[in-house]
Structure 1
Amino acid sequence: MGEKLLTAKEAAEILKVRKNTVYDMIKRGDLKASKLGKQLRIRQEDLDFYIQYGSQYGSQASTMLNEGKTQTNGIDKDEFEKNILNISNGSTDMAGRNKTTQKGMANQIIICGQDMVLDLLANRLNQCIGENVFRSYKGSYNALYAMYQGEVNVATAHLWHGKTNSYNIPYISSMLPGTDLVVLHLLKRKQGFYVQKGNPKNIQSFEDLKRSDITIVNREPGSGVRVLIDEKLRQAGIPTQEVNGYQDIVSSHLEAAAAVNRGDADVAVGSEKHSLSVPGIDFLFIQEESYDMVIRKEDFLKKPYQKMIEIIRSSEYQKEVAGLGGYNVENMGKIIYSDLIQ
């Protein structure tokens, strides 16, 4: 009997993510895929392995691309780049692969951020204005930096500022100096600890992370979760060198949850939504975070951006996002900061 092969859509349904997110996972080398004719197929055992162990095994594809080798998971390199890296405008990390000049960005919109709701937005906007909407998957801090460097048009962030107990605005103001901006609220998400089922180590707060019997798995610098961890440790007066596992990095909520599930770590920090995709772990609520969108003032009144805002504020889009679970869409699209009125 032959092995079970899944389409990207079938894999997305199992992972409870958008199909374009699966394409991006393949592009990064996190998930293995094979080319059968003109179609991509994912082995069930490779998907099961990803769910259990995250993407630790998946760096081979990325390495091969970087080294210029001709084959990636059995896919010709040129075909891989054509069919995966550019599978749809909604999933292409233009800013990550090629630095985009301001002139080159004149006729396109690059939306930067890691949440899948941005994939939904990019797809809807592409349907309305054509084939000029792209996605970049940088984390919050790096998204704002990329915007300042002129690499992306729209940035998103969920950066907690410990001194003011607020989200995003303090970072936006300092990281985009001399730039007139409009900031829209997108949604709120619950952040918390991922712990093993039953919480056997009785982890309750960040104070517990300095215990010698506790090992964490961390997120990459620039991500909203990493900023939250660092701010909480700073507030608690805990030096990072006293936290076991602080230097062990994964690049997604799902990988962090998988690491806890398989016992590589006792605890990680991530969103409630992603914890629901991994059996064998519990979620302990820390706080609700604000996920917001940043647009340059000069772009805000342009028709493509107004169309994007119209989509964000539409009941259809908000229902689609709310239907994913784990998102509070109250006040989605509300302007929370603006340089439009001086």
Structure 2
Amino acid sequence: MTNDMSYTTEEIAKLLKVSKLTVYDLIKKGDLPAYRVGKQMRVDASDLDAYKHKAKGIADSGLRPIPHAASAAAIQPPAPNKRMPQLVITGQDISLDLLAKHLEKHAPGIRPLRSYVGSLDSLISMYRGESDIVSTHLIDGDTGEYNLPYVRKLLGGFSYTVIHLLSRSAGFYVAQGNPLGLQAWEDLWRPGLRLVNREIGSGARVLLDEQLRLHDIDPRRLTGYEHTESNHLGVAGKVASGEADVGVGIEKAAHIVGGVDFVPLIQESYDLVMLNRPENRDWMETVKRILRSESFHQELSAIQGYDLSRTGQVLLET
């Protein structure tokens, strides 16, 4: 490796044969120095070499084994080299990028990092101690309630705060003019309809699966159910290109992609979860102030498809 080389978090994960969340955790704990280039985190080759040598040295000394996958974060940084505290913010919505930007400005003692994973995986990452602020939009089909049923089940042993970020419309992406006249969840049962899906663990996938269950539609009989995209833009793009007839996602992506219409079916709650720990108290208060600030609302209001009437409202605090 040469000193002027650098790697993305995805490249580091492949080189170390660990998950990307593990890489974020190494960065967060100060084991792996990183810096931001635009919205992307990068690690210099020399710092990666130093980390590998340190990890190998610890393993050779018999103190700890070489890390594998999620256990890689077990290695602690040397005490004299304390680095700026780092917060991992999970989720894919652009509002989270704006939140990270405001945190950089109003909490100069911390460094926000972004992890672009789905809602269920976000909560699991918090349970594992791999993230600090997680976003979620998971519906419980039986009650119609968003997020809180999942938070209670997955984080039952923790003290946490759930705070509302925004509401947004979710529904169908369809071809322009909606030539098939798709208007309701039960329309997904039509023979020959080509679906494009989201990945397991995403809020849109949970929304679709819950609606299929409630309407007694067998997903195995849906053409394209196994065809997945990793974000709303990818789903809308497949419909816009004519490769699929319908997909489930949020309204904003339809406006960004173009060439596709949107059929609103539900107003979903997009919320943030943070753990109530003494060391988190200061930055959690900063997050609450940001969410309620006029400047943050002004930036979000410029984005089509957001309802900010409850932004900053604490939904649950244990």
Same fold flag (TM > 0.5)? yes
Cα offset, 1:267, TM superposition:
0.3
SS of residue paired to 1:217 = strand
Equivalent residue for 1:310? 289
The separation in 2 between residues aligned to 1:253 and 1:216, in whole angstroms, is 14
The separation in 2 between residues aligned to 1:285 and 1:299, in whole angstroms, is 41
| Structure 1, unaligned runs of 5 or more | 1-26, 29-61, 69-84
SS of residue paired to 1:333 = coil
Return the TM-score normalized by structure 1: 0.71
Cα offset, 1:87, TM superposition:
3.1
| Structure 2, unaligned runs of 5 or more | 1-7, 17-33, 44-68, 78-82
SS of residue paired to 2:268 = strand
Cα offset, 1:310, TM superposition:
0.9
Q: Of the candidates 67, 75, 93, which is equivalent to residue 115 of structure 1?
A: 93
Equivalent residue for 2:212? 233
Q: What amino acid is aligned across from residue 112 of structure 2 in structure 1?
A: V
Return the TM-score normalized by structure 2: 0.76
SS of residue paired to 2:256 = coil
Cα offset, 1:129, TM superposition:
2.4
- Contact 1:140 1:159 (8 Å CA) reproduced: yes
Equivalent residue for 1:185? 164
**2:97 is the alignment partner of 1:127:** no
- Contact 2:84 2:111 (8 Å CA) reproduced: no
Equivalent residue for 1:200? 179
Q: What amino acid is aligned across from residue 36 of structure 2 in structure 1?
A: I
The separation in 1 between residues aligned to 2:267 and 2:92, in whole angstroms, is 18
SS of residue paired to 1:246 = coil
Alignment of 1:71-220 (within 5 A): 86-88=35-37, 91-92=40-41, 100=73, 107-130=85-108, 132-220=111-199
Q: Which has the larger radius of gyration?
A: 2
Cα offset, 1:138, TM superposition:
1.0
Cα offset, 1:325, TM superposition:
1.7
Q: How many residues align?
A: 264
Equivalent residue for 1:45? none
RMSD over equivalenced CA pairs, Å = 2.9
Identity, in percent, stands at 36
The separation in 2 between residues aligned to 1:106 and 1:144, in whole angstroms, is 24
Q: What amino acid is aligned across from residue 214 of structure 1 in structure 2?
A: L
The separation in 1 between residues aligned to 2:13 and 2:127, in whole angstroms, is 28
Cα offset, 1:117, TM superposition:
0.7
- Contact 2:137 2:269 (8 Å CA) reproduced: yes
